[in-house]
Amino acid sequence: MSIASSSMATPVDLSHHFSTEARLRQPNPMKAIWKLTRRKPNMVSLANGDPHFSLYPIRKVEYEMASVAEEDPVATWRRGPSAPSHNLVSSTYEPCALPLQTGLQYSHGAGLPDAQRVVTDLTNYYHATSDHMCTLTLGNSDGITKCFRLLGEPGDHFIADEFSFSSMTNVPLAQGIKWVGIKMDDGGMIPEELERVLAEWDLARGRRPHVIYLVPCGQNPTGSTLSLERRKRIYAIAQRFDLIIIEDDPYYFLQYDTPDHPTTALSTPFAASFLSLDTDGRVMRIDSFSKVFAPGMRLGWITSNALFHEALVTYTDSSTMHPHGFGQMLITEMMAPHGWQLSGFDRWVRSLRAEYHRRRAFFLDLFAREVSQTQLARATVPEAGMFVWIRVEIEKHPRYRADRRMQSRDVTGPRTNVKELMEELFERCLDGGLVIMPASIFALSADPKYDDMEDPVEDRLNYLRATFAGTEEAMEQGLTILGQVLRDFFSEEQK
């Protein structure tokens, strides 16, 4: 790591960022009672109605995991049933790091202490934290959703990339929160644009935005990764305008070298996160095991300042409750001396990175052969993540029009018919047997009353998002179809 550990010398008071709901929320009274069990050494408790562990019909859980003994464990693991494995066990009767009787109980909203320690150790290993604390979640969707409820008031505006992961950006809309999209280039969010929007904010529109949502590595959908320079600039803007940064970083471990490299060197360092720059405590970093283990784990964590951690715990105790025991037991055994340990986890994620680097190369080669040579689309090379952002050269389409504003006399409407043409292209892909994500589902809509409508996002929807996370077969078939569909779509006569 290149960033030295910093301490929050003068902790910034960020309590004014809480929503009304967060302020009104009372703690779960049963948790207060539960804490009293520790008041006296031999307190007899007839308080909590927790089923006794002797009544759990489960005695043992055994997870057969990949062995991480070798340097490139993912490559070994992919060999299939013959690959060596490593068993992790949580049991009532056998020795283990987290016995079943503890793992399957009701516990604290932050998660079991052992599991919390695991994610804290992981965070401290890869990032430079100061007074941050970890709270377990049920995955990124859960974590981010909770952050939105803690911070967002109806009428608030939140900031995100102009093309964003709409599974997340759709979440707070129902709460009455609106988005302001910031223009991007190949390197992600443009800091000057962010600054401009904040500096020129019209208060008639509502409170100035106080939350920014970012996916800094392998941004979804554009695949861009923010450079260290841009991260520092964005952090400085966040300090100047008092923003909370929600750092959604599911692809943190999937950061690649340039395509010239046959494979990412297993020793290449990972980029510095916003968390590592966070001297004020204004970053809420969202981590997940979904992409490095399996999505069905439904387990992740949030790293934040202590105040936000407390609020998250109170909220968790009044809603989803802590995550399931199995996942917590698994990661605890994994990090234990008899498990993978941190060094093994590190080998696994670096090896995974190499695997995705290979897939990216496979995809890009295919793309060059099947699509680029049509000259109707080109791919931006992602530095991280699982997606390629494909630019369709829509201006070359016979039915492309750039005179919509003159036709409609709407000075804030789209200038072109890119939106309609891309909808057609999406349908043509389906007809051709290919499902691919169109840019339109990721675009944040602007507010014509306030936003700069010089360059409406509707005119820039000529992109498709394709993944290299699937099988090689799917990539081969899919890109062949895409090449063909593009050729057919662009070759039609003018109607």
Site for other proteins in 389-418 (CB under 8 A): none
Per CB under 8 A, the list member of 5, 15, 60, 207 interacting with other proteins is 60
Quick one: 145 or 264, whose CB is closer to other proteins? 145
Question: From the centroid of its chain, how far is CA 314?
Answer: 23
Q: Is 336 in the site for other proteins (CB under 8 A)?
A: no
State the Cα–Cα distance between residues 308 and 301, nearest whole angstrom: 13
Residues between 469 and 488 with contacts to other proteins, criterion CB under 8 A: 469-471, 474-475, 477-479, 481-482
Q: Please, what is the minimum distance in Å from the beta carbon of residue 37 to other proteins?
A: 6
Quick one: 8 or 364, whose CB is closer to other proteins? 364
Residues between 63 and 122 with contacts to other proteins, criterion CB under 8 A: 63-66, 74, 77-78, 80-81, 85, 93, 103-107
Quick one: 53 or 400, whose CB is closer to other proteins? 53
What does the buried/exposed string (b/e) look like for 293-327 if buried means 16 or more CB atoms within 10 Å of the residue's CB? beeebbbbbbbbbebbbbbbbbbbbeeeebbebbb
Q: Closest Cα partner for 421 from 468, 460, 384, 456?
A: 460
DSSP 3-state assignment of 324? coil
Options 56-64, 178-186, 209-217, 273-281: segment touching other proteins (CB under 8 A) = 56-64
Could you tell me whether strands 244-248 and 283-288 are parallel, antiparallel, or unpaired per DSSP bridges?
parallel
Angle separating helix axes 191-199 and 228-240, nearest 10 degrees: 10
Question: From the centroid of its chain, how far is CA 21?
Answer: 25
State the Cα–Cα distance between residues 305 and 150, nearest whole angstrom: 14
Q: Please, what is the minimum distance in Å from the beta carbon of residue 44 to other proteins?
A: 4
Q: Is 352 in the site for other proteins (CB under 8 A)?
A: yes
Quick one: 252 or 293, whose CB is closer to other proteins? 293
State the Cα–Cα distance between residues 378 and 125, nearest whole angstrom: 38
Residues between 311 and 330 with contacts to other proteins, criterion CB under 8 A: 317-328
For residue 257 the two structure tokens come to: 């070298």
For residue 50 the two structure tokens come to: 């927790």
Q: Is 142 in the site for other proteins (CB under 8 A)?
A: yes
Residues between 10 and 49 with contacts to other proteins, criterion CB under 8 A: 21-22, 24-26, 28-30, 33, 36-37, 39-40, 42-49
Quick one: 62 or 492, whose CB is closer to other proteins? 62
Could you tell me whether strands 211-214 and 157-161 are parallel, antiparallel, or unpaired per DSSP bridges?
parallel
Contacts of 343 (CB under 8 A, 6+ apart): none
Strand partners, 248: 286
User: Per-residue x/- marks for other proteins, 434-463, CB under 8 A?
Assistant: xxxx---x----------------------
Q: Please, what is the minimum distance in Å from the beta carbon of residue 385 to other proteins?
A: 8
Q: Please, what is the minimum distance in Å from the beta carbon of residue 493 to other proteins?
A: 28
